[in-house]
Amino acid sequence: MPKPRILSLVRPRDYELLFTPQTDQALRALGETVFEGQQGTLSSQELAQRIAGFDAVLTGWGSPRFTDEVLGAADRLRVIAHSAGSIKNILPRPVFERGITVTHAASAIAPAVAELSLAMTLILLRKVVQLDRYLRAGDWQGAKAVPMGRELVGLRVGVVGAGYTGRCFIKLMRALEAEVWVYDPYLSAERAAEIGVRTVALDDLFAGCPVVSVQAPATDETYHMISARQFGLLQDGACFVNTARSWVVDYDALLAELQTGRFVAALDVFDREPLPEDNPFRELDNVVMTPHVAGASLEARQRQGQFMVEELDRFFSGGPLLYQVTADMLDTMA
C-alpha cells in the first residue's frame, strides 16, 4: 500500500518553533511530505491549484481558507491537522460536510494559557506590581505600607468557560486548594462533579468570587458576554483576569470600572492588537498587561507540532484520534 501524501502549509518561522528535529523526522516518516508554506502563505486560489493528490494537509497560523474551490480540487483529502488552536477562519462547515477528518492542537496550548492565568492571578492577589513599583522608586516603607495580599488557599475563584484552557486552569486552582465556581452552560452537572467545581449563573459568579478568570471562546454566543452589569457586581478589591479573547468582554465597560480603582485586572488580549500607544489601559496603575502571549511557551509550541504528527499517525494507522473536531462542536469553539 503506497504511503500517504502530506501537504504542509505551515510557515517556515512557525515550523521551526513547532516541529523539533524529532517531530519533523516523525512527520516525514509517515509519508511523502511536501512543504508548500516555505515561500510564504498561499492564497486559497493557489492552494486549489496544489492540493490535488494529497491525503492530508497540515495547517497552521495564516493558512488559507478551505473554500469551495479548494475542496473541489481536493480529490484525495481525508484529514486536516491544524497545528494551532482556532480553526474557524480556515476550515468552514463544508469541510466537515465532505467527511474530511479534522484535528487541532488547542489542547497543546491550554496548559501554557492556564499557567499565565495562574501567574497573573498571583501577581494581582499578592500585589507584586505595586510592591515592585515602590521599591524601584526607592521607597521601602511605602512598599511595606501596601495592604497585605491574599492567598489562593480557600479563596473562591470564578472561571468563565470550562473548555481546554478552562479545565487546565481549574486543575491548577484545585491543586492550590481554591474553591472553584464555574459558569459554562455546556458543562454538565456530572462533569462539574468530576472536576470538583460548582456551576453557577454568570452574575452570581461575578458577585460571589473575589477572583474571576475568563477562559471562554470567541463565538456568536459569547460576544460581550461580560459587560457593565457583571463588572458592577464585582467586589471591591477583586481580581479580573482575561487570557481568552477580548471578544468575550466589553472593554469599554471594563475600562470605565477600572478607572474608578475599585478592582484590579490582568489582561493578555485587547480589542486592537498591537495595543495602540494612546490606549487608555496603558495609563492605569491597577492593570497588568501582556501582549497576547498566554499560549506562547516553548513547550506549548513544541507540543503543537508533536500532537498533530501523532494525530496523523493515529489516523493513518486506523486508530481513534484524541483531538478530533466534529461539526457539532463548531458553534461552541473558538
153 and 210 together in one domain: yes
- What pLDDT score was predicted for residue 331? 86
pLDDT in tens, 106-155: 999 999 999 999 999 999 999 999 999 999 999 999 999 999 999 999 99
150 and 247 together in one domain: yes
Phi, psi of 241 (to 5 degrees): -125, 130
Closest CA to 169 of 268, 255, 247: 268
pLDDT at 20 over 80: yes
- What pLDDT score was predicted for residue 282? 98
CA 250 to CA 184: how far, in whole Å?
A: 18
pLDDT at 101 over 90: yes
Among all residues, which ones are annotated catalytic? 245, 273, 292
In the chain the beta strands, taken as DSSP E runs, fall at 5-8, 32-35, 56-59, 79-82, 101-104, 156-160, 179-183, 198-199, 211-214, 239-242, 264-267, 287-289, 324-325
CA 271 to CA 331: how far, in whole Å?
A: 22
24 and 78 together in one domain: yes
- What pLDDT score was predicted for residue 244? 98
CATH of the domain at 199: 3.40.50.720
177 and 278 together in one domain: yes
Angle between helix 298-317 and 21-30 (nearest 10): 20
State pTM to two decimals.
0.95
pLDDT in tens, 296-308: 999 999 999 999 9
CA-derived radius of gyration, the chain? 22
* pLDDT tier at 14, thresholds 50, 70, 90: very high
Domain around 80:
5-104+298-332
25 and 121 together in one domain: no
118 and 98 together in one domain: no
144 and 262 together in one domain: yes
Q: How many domains does the chain have?
A: 2
Phi, psi of 80 (to 5 degrees): -125, 125
244 and 274 together in one domain: yes
What is the percent of the chain where pLDDT is above 90?
96
Amino acid at residue number 191: R
**What's the average model confidence in pLDDT over 95-102?**
98
Amino acid at residue number 102: V
241 and 308 together in one domain: no
CA 59 to CA 47: how far, in whole Å?
A: 12
- CB-based burial label for 39 (10 Å; 0-12, 13-18, 19+): exposed
pLDDT at 40 over 90: no
* DSSP H or E stretch at residue 125: helix 106-125
Q: What is the DSSP letter of 220?
A: G
52, 73 Cβ separation under 8 angstroms: yes
133 and 9 together in one domain: no
Residues in the chain: 334
pLDDT at 39 over 70: no
61 and 132 together in one domain: no
pLDDT at 37 over 80: no
Closest CA to 79 of 279, 239, 286, 312: 312
Average pLDDT for the chain = 97
Q: How many CB atoms lie within 10 A of CB 97?
A: 10
159 and 199 together in one domain: yes
| Half-sphere exposure in the Cβ direction for 294 (13 Å, CA) | 33
Range with lowest mean pLDDT among 34-43, 68-77, 206-215, 282-291:
34-43
Within 8 A by CB and 6+ apart from 333, the residues are: 86, 87, 88, 163, 217, 219, 325
pLDDT in tens, 264-292: 999 999 999 999 999 999 999 999 999 99
